[in-house]
Chains A and B, each alone.
Chain A
Amino acid sequence: MQQAGQLCYLSRFREPVIEISTMSLDAQAVKKIAHLARLGVEESENERYALNLSDILSFVERLNAVDTHGIEPMAHPLDASQRLRADEVTETDQHLQFQQVAPKVEAGLYLVPKVIE
């Protein structure tokens, strides 16, 4: 079990590694990244995003020149640990209120397009 306060450094995505070289992304790579983020990007905009993202990534590449051997990654400025609260019920059921702002709700359930045929 994870200790309180310890941050878990895990990759979020289990999909295959994006097969792209760093520094420069092409329109195809933008499509892949946009898909991973479930982000609709117009076909005509892919080139512009490829340029912007390549600029940003080559800018941050300068971090690679820094020797960070043995330096512990910093997750919290004051190295605070995760507070634990007493295991007591503190929240009441407010689903009606919360679902008032949902785009589509029926019988207390959030509606989305059919997932299983």
Chain B
Amino acid sequence: MYQKTIAELAAGLRAGEFSSEELTQSCLDRIEEHDAKLNCVVTLTESAALEAAKAADKRLQKDDATLLTGIPYLHKDIFCTLGVRTSCGSRMLDNFEAPYDATVTAQLQAAGAVMLGKTNMDEFAMGSSNETSFYGPVRNPWDLERVPGGSSGGSAAAVAARLAPLATGTDTGGSIRQPAALCGVTGIKPTYGRVSRFGMIAFASSLDQGGPFATSAEDAAHLLEAMSGFDPRDSTSIDRPVDHYAEGLGQDLSGLSIGLPREYFGEGLDAQVGAAVEAAIDEYRKLGAEVKEISLPNTSLAVPAYYVVAPAECSSNLSRMDGVRFGYRCDNPRDLEDLYTRSRGEGFGAEVKRRIMVGTYALSAGYYDAYYLKAQQVRRMIRDDFVKAFEDVDIIMGPTAPTTAFKLGEKADDPVTMYLSDTYTIAVNLAGLPAMSVPAGMADGLPVGLQLIGNYFEEGRLLNAAHRFQQVTDWHTRMPAGFY
């Protein structure tokens, strides 16, 4: 059952081959069997899932079911869920039950999808290895000594191990694409404003964007469609109809123009990763695409600009965690200042503290122009590089990450080295563009991700290109040994 596509599962449910309750139970069984090794799931909602599955089974008897009705999924623990803890991977919210559902949660519930539980993640989505979680690191199913990537590490590892056919994630600087690459699954970050941020705990609001994980582009298309849409409760949501992504799949790629930024193939790229990406691009040539070299000259400025903008926004967003209205409160505060300081000091982990301090410094009087304003100017230069490139090409391709999955602890003590693992993903968030990662090869037994970057609102074009690649390759069907 766990190797079926969403379309096959939906057909099986309709044909009465199995019920949603049975399907849900089979996922719960796989989580039970395998998650002790991986630590993907921080909250399992077993009984609620089985109840939702029974309701889905009833709905499937009627005519109002959607393609996702009765399909189980895991939800990143950054999306608020009424009645189920939303921890965001932090001690600060270890006791937090949101009094409302995120829009994405409500959309998936309305579609009839069955939430199995909430997935582990880097604390407040700040990390590239899932090692900053209060609940301990997630392990990569391809090699348990290695990280799954982050911040949506639990979701990526869970889909890679086939614990659930679908999972949600969020991507602020690569947090869907990088773990998708390191775990060998398909993940897409849509255009900024496509998926509602309402009830998605904010890290850096001008960059945060939700999206799906799946084992294929086709399956990801189904989940993305269900998650997308205009939401008046998100001030930066885009009021524009949602494309029917899955219906647009299978189109011919002849004449598609692909740009390879030379800055994405230079120093720092692991040779084996580079070779796998080149081989994937050869497949696109065979599919009729035209490939040309392009330049995104300000690429090297993306990570530094990000590490001003993101910490600045995070220091502001996380100021709401003050021990007064929700979340962790320290014992026996002496006075109000002590309450704030100790609640935050004890509630946040080291990486979150680093970023809050960098942001506080960058926004403080006298430094604002030098850091934040400067970074926002550089951000426009980075965006303009992409705008110019898309005058000439349809899709930009390159590696998702410079290396395959690294070892646990390898970069944990060196923030800047860790930050550079997002070197190919961050510019996309600064520009607000859609981008995805698809499994494109293996290097020493570890997955390699190919990144596809599209113009604004061209998620459909990306998904089609990924789908066509997956029709002629089988990288996306490979599973880590030990999880069959």
Contacts and interface: CB of A to CB of B under 8 A. Distances in A.
Partners in one complex: yes
B134 interface: no
A2 interface: no
B142 to A, nearest CB: 30
A27 interface: no
Given A40-B344, A59-B416, A101-B326, A16 B365 contact: yes
B364 interface: yes
Contact of A39 (B99, B344, B383): B344
Among B192, B328, B433, the most chain A Cβ lie within 10 Å of the Cβ of B192
Contacts of A11: 363-366, 368
Contacts of B375: 60, 63
Contacts of A98: 99, 325
Interface residues of B, number: 79
B68 to A, nearest CB: 28
A97 to B, nearest CB: 5
Contact of B353 (A41, A75, A80): A41
A30 B356 CA distance: 11
Contact of B373 (A9, A30, A77, A104): A9
Nearest to B334: A113
A83 B361 CA distance: 31
B346 A17 contact: no
Contact of A101 (B99, B192, B360, B371): B99
A87 interface: no
Interface in B289-337: 298, 300-301, 303-305, 307-308, 315-316, 319, 322-329, 333-337
Give the interface centre of A42, A63, A83 by most chain B CB atoms within 10 Å: A63
Given A37-B356, A53-B358, A74-B377, A82 B336 contact: no
B356 A60 contact: no
Given A39-B357, A55-B416, A62-B304, A85 B364 contact: no
Given A39-B345, A63-B308, A77-B383, A85 B340 contact: no
Contact of B345 (A9, A41, A59, A75): A41
Contact of B361 (A57, A75, A85): A57
A106 interface: no
Interface stretch (B5-13, B221-229, B232-240, B262-270): B232-240
Nearest to A73: B376
Contacts of B481: none
A22 B236 CA distance: 34
A18 B364 CA distance: 8
Contact of A37 (B239, B360, B432): B360
A100 B342 CA distance: 22
Nearest to A82: B235
29 contacts: A9-B373, A13-B360, A13-B364, A16-B365, A18-B364, A34-B357, A36-B364, A37-B357, A38-B322, A38-B341, A39-B344, A55-B415, A56-B358, A57-B361, A60-B305, A63-B304, A64-B370, A66-B301, A68-B378, A68-B381, A73-B373, A74-B377, A75-B376, A77-B192, A77-B433, A101-B97, A102-B324, A103-B323, A112-B324
Interface of A: 9, 11-18, 22, 25, 30, 33-42, 49, 52-53, 55-57, 59-64, 66, 68, 71-78, 80, 82-83, 85, 94, 97-98, 100-104, 110, 112-115
Given A39-B356, A62-B301, 8 more contacts: A9-B368, A12-B363, A33-B361, A39-B344, A78-B432, A103-B327, A112-B324, A113-B334
Report the 9 A-B pairs with minimum CB-CB distance, sorted nearest first: A40-B345, A77-B432, A73-B376, A103-B329, A17-B366, A74-B380, A68-B377, A38-B340, A37-B360
